[in-house]
Chains A and B, each alone.
Chain A
Amino acid sequence: MHASTRYRKVWKNAGSLLFILPALLFYLSFVLIPVLQNVVFSLFEWQGPSGHFVGIANYVRLFQDPIFYNALIHNVIWVSLTLLFPLGIGLVLAATLVKVRHRTSIAAIYFVPRTVPFVVSGAIWGLMYNYEIGLVNFLLDEIGLSSLKRVWLADPSITLYALNFLGAWTFFGFCSLILLNALQNVDPCLYEAAEIDGASSFHQFRYITIPMLKNTIIFLIVYSTIAAMTFFDLVHITTQGGPGYATDVVSLYIYRLVVREGKIAYPATISVMLSIIILGFTLVVIRLRRED
C-alpha cells in the first residue's frame, strides 16, 4: 500500500476514534475500572479503609457458603421460570396478535405492567397476596377453589413461585411486544407458500415463525437471564428474601452484606462470581448461535 494512502486510512480511523473517545472514557470510568476495582477488592480483607492481601481466601469462603448457594439456586429457578413462562407466553401471544388488526395497540396494553415501577408492583401484589383480605385468595374463594388458598408470602414451599408469577406479569408484555415487532418483519409470502403447501398453523409456527425469530429470541434469552440473575427490587419490597431464606437471591445477599453489615471484600467476591456466571452463560449462547 502506498504510504500516503496508509496515512490517510490511519488518519480516517483516528477521526473515528476521536468520536467514540467520550463514550469510551465514560465506559472506562464508570464500568470497566469499577469492575476491575471490584476484582481487586475481592482479593483483600478490609478493616476500615485499610486492607491486606488474602489471595483467593474470599473465593474459598464463597464456595463453602450455604447462603450463597441457596440464593444462587433461587436465581437459577427464577431464570428457568422466566424463560419458560413470560418468554413462552410472549411468543404465543405475538404469533396470535400478528394476524389481528390493531395488534400494536393490544400489545401495548400487555406492556402496561412493565411501565409500573417494581417497587409499586411489589407493594400492590404484597396486598393482593394477603391471606385474609387479598384479591388472590378472594378470587379463589369466588370460583370455588378455596382449597387452593395459601399464605402466599409466608409458605417457604411456594413463596418463590408466587413472586415469580408477579415477575412474569411484569415481563410477558415486554417479550410479546419485542417478538411482535420482529414478526411483522417476516415476509408474509413465506406463510402464503406454506399454506399453499398445506402446512398447518402449528407447522407454520414451528418451521417459519420460530426460525425467523431466532435472533430476537436469543436476545430475549440473554436479556431475561441477565435480568433474572440480578433481580432485586421485587424481592426486597415484598419478602426481603423471607420467609427465612426461602426467596433470598444473590443481589439481595450482596445488598445485605454491603448496606447492613458494611462488608466490602466478600460481597465484591460474590459480585465477581455473579458476573462470571452471567458472562459465561452469555458467551455459551452466542457460541451456540454461531455454530448453528
Chain B
Amino acid sequence: MSCKEDKMRKGLTYLLMILIVSSFSAVAAHCQETIFVHVWDQFGYKGMTAGAPAMEKVVNEYMKLHPNVKISRTFYDPIAMREIYLLAIKAGEEPDLAYTWPQGAVMGKLAGAGELYPMTEMAKEFGWFEKLTDLAISYCSYKGDLYAYPFEQDYFGLYYNKDLFNELGLEVPRSYEDLLKLRQKAQDAGYATLAFGNREMWEATNVLSMLFALVAGKEKEEELFFGDAKWTDSEFVEAAQTFRDWADQGFFPAGFNSLTCGERISYFSRGKALMELGGSWVIEPHFEMDFDVGVIMFPQIKKNLPQATMQGVGSGWQISADAPLKVQKEAARFLDLLDSEQFMKIWIEEGKVVPIRKKINWAQYDVPQVMKTFYEEGEKITDVSGYDLHTNLPESVTDVLYRNLQMMLGGTISVQEFLGRMQEAWEKAKAAQEIYLP
C-alpha cells in the first residue's frame, strides 16, 4: 500500500469520524436543549392584572432570544389562582413557573415543605436584590432565602368620582375629619360615601390592614406579627372599631357584605358612590369609566401616627422544586428578562402593571394620570405603610379573620368578640409553629 493511499484512507476515516460525531452532537443538542417551561399566570386582558399584552411580548422575546426554549402559558383568573395552585401543588401537578398569591405565610409554608425552588443564588447573580424593595424581598423570603420573585407593587387607596364631587359642590377630603363630614352630604344626595364590597371576604382584610397602619402604626403591627403584642390590644380595638363605625354609620352601600369585588367596581362606575376603597391592582377598569376618576391615599387618622396605607406584594413568581434543574434555571432567566428595564415601559404602559422598584421615574411613562398619582403618592409613604394582613397570617388564622371580620362588619358579633377570636386563633397557630417569619 502506497504512502499516498494510506494518507488518503486515514484522511477519509478522520472525515467520516468527524461527520458522525458532529451529526450525533447536532441530534443530541437538538434533543437535549429544547427546554419546555410551563407557566401559569394571571395576566388577562381586562380587570384585575390586565397584563396579557405585556406578558405575550416578554414570552415571544424570550423565545426569540433563546430558540431552544419553548414557553407555554396558561391563564387563570386571579381570584381562582390561589386555590388552583395549592391544589396543583398537593397533586404534584404544579407548573414549572407560577404567578400566584399570597406570598408571606402561604409561600413560607410551601417553601418549608420543600415545594419551591430557592432563588437566592439566582437573585445575587442577576442583581435582583439591588432593584427590589426590602419589604417585597421580605414578603417573598423564608428563613433568609428568597423563594418567590415579587413583581407587582400594591397600594391601597381611595378612588373618587371627580364629576360627582363637582356636581355636588364638594371638596376632595384632605383630612379624616373632612371625610367624615362627607357622609351626611353624600347620604342626603342619595349616594354612598365609600363603594365597598366584601362577599369574597379578602376585601375587608385590605381595609383593616390599612386601618391597622393608620390607627395602630407599623411598629405596633410588627410587635403583633413578630413579637408579643395581642390582637386585643387597645390600638387594634380602636382600628377595628373605626371600621365597624363606618359600617354602622352608613358609609358603605346597603348589603356591602354581599357585593363582590367586581360588583363593587361596577357600583362605583355607575356613579352610585363618591369614592371607592380599592387597591392599585384593580386600576385598569378605572381608566374606562364614564367620568373622570381621581385617587388619593387615605388621610391620616391619628395625630401621633403618619399617613399610611397597606402595601403588599399580592402575587409573586414561584418556581417548582420538582422541575428539572435546567428548567428552574431557565425560568429564573426568564424572570430576569420579564422584569428587566427593557420591558418596564411595556408592563406599565401596555400591561397596566407596575413592577416593584425602589424608585420609579413616572415622567417617562405615558399612562393615565390616576395611575401615576396612585403610585407616586403610595411611594411617598412606603416606609411607614403597614402590612397586608392575609399575607402575613397563616391560613388557619386567615380563615378566622375572613369570617369573623365579615360578621363583625355585619353586626353579628362585637369588635371585642372578633379580636378575641383572632387572638385565640393566633395562639393556636403559634403553638402549632405556623407563624410566618421572613
Contact = CB atoms under 8 A, between A and B. Distances in A.
Interface of A: 48, 126-127, 129-132, 151-154, 156, 239-245, 256, 258-262
Contacts of A153: 199, 255, 257-258
Contacts of B86: 259-260, 262
B128 interface: no
A261 B428 CA distance: 13
Contacts of B256: 154
B395 interface: yes
5 contacts: A130-B258, A240-B201, A244-B407, A262-B90, A262-B395
Which residue among B254, B257, B394 has the maximum number of chain A CB atoms within 10 Å of its CB?
Answer: B257
Interface string B75-88: 00000000100110
Dominant secondary structure of chain B at its interface with chain A: helix
Contacts of B404: 244
Interface string B249-279: 0000111111110010001000010000000
Which residue among A131, A258, A259, A260 has the maximum number of chain B CB atoms within 10 Å of its CB?
Answer: A260
A242 B255 contact: no
A156 B263 CA distance: 20
Given A130-B263, A132-B255, A132-B267, 18 more contacts: A131-B254, A151-B254, A154-B257, A154-B258, A156-B407, A156-B412, A240-B199, A241-B403, A242-B406, A243-B258, A243-B407, A243-B412, A259-B83, A259-B86, A260-B395, A260-B399, A261-B396, A262-B113
A241 B199 CA distance: 10
A236 to B, nearest CB: 10
B410 interface: yes
A131 B255 CA distance: 6
Interface of B: 83, 86-87, 90, 109, 113, 199-201, 253-260, 263, 267, 272, 394-396, 398-399, 402-404, 406-407, 410, 412-413
A260 B83 contact: yes
Contacts of A243: 257-258, 406-407, 410, 412
A126 B260 contact: yes
Contacts of B260: 126
A258 to B, nearest CB: 8
A156 B253 CA distance: 18
Contacts of A258: 90
Contacts, number: 82
Contacts of B413: 244
Contacts of A156: 407, 410, 412
A242 B260 CA distance: 12
B399 A256 contact: yes
Given A240-B201, A242-B199, A151 B255 contact: yes
A185 to B, nearest CB: 44
Given A130-B263, A154-B410, A244-B412, A239 B255 contact: no
A168 to B, nearest CB: 20
Contacts of A130: 255, 258-259, 263
Nearest to A131: B255
Contacts of B259: 130
A260 B412 CA distance: 25
A239 B410 contact: no
A129 B403 CA distance: 20
Nearest to B263: A130
Nearest to B413: A244
Contacts of B412: 156, 243-244
Contacts of B263: 127, 130
A48 B257 CA distance: 36
B217 to A, nearest CB: 29
Nearest to B200: A240
Contacts of A262: 86, 90, 109, 113, 395
Given A126-B260, A131-B258, A261-B396, A242 B201 contact: yes
Contacts of B402: 242
B399 A48 contact: no
A70 to B, nearest CB: 11
Contacts of B396: 261
A154 B260 CA distance: 11
A219 to B, nearest CB: 33
Nearest to B83: A259
A112 to B, nearest CB: 26
B332 to A, nearest CB: 26
B113 A239 contact: no
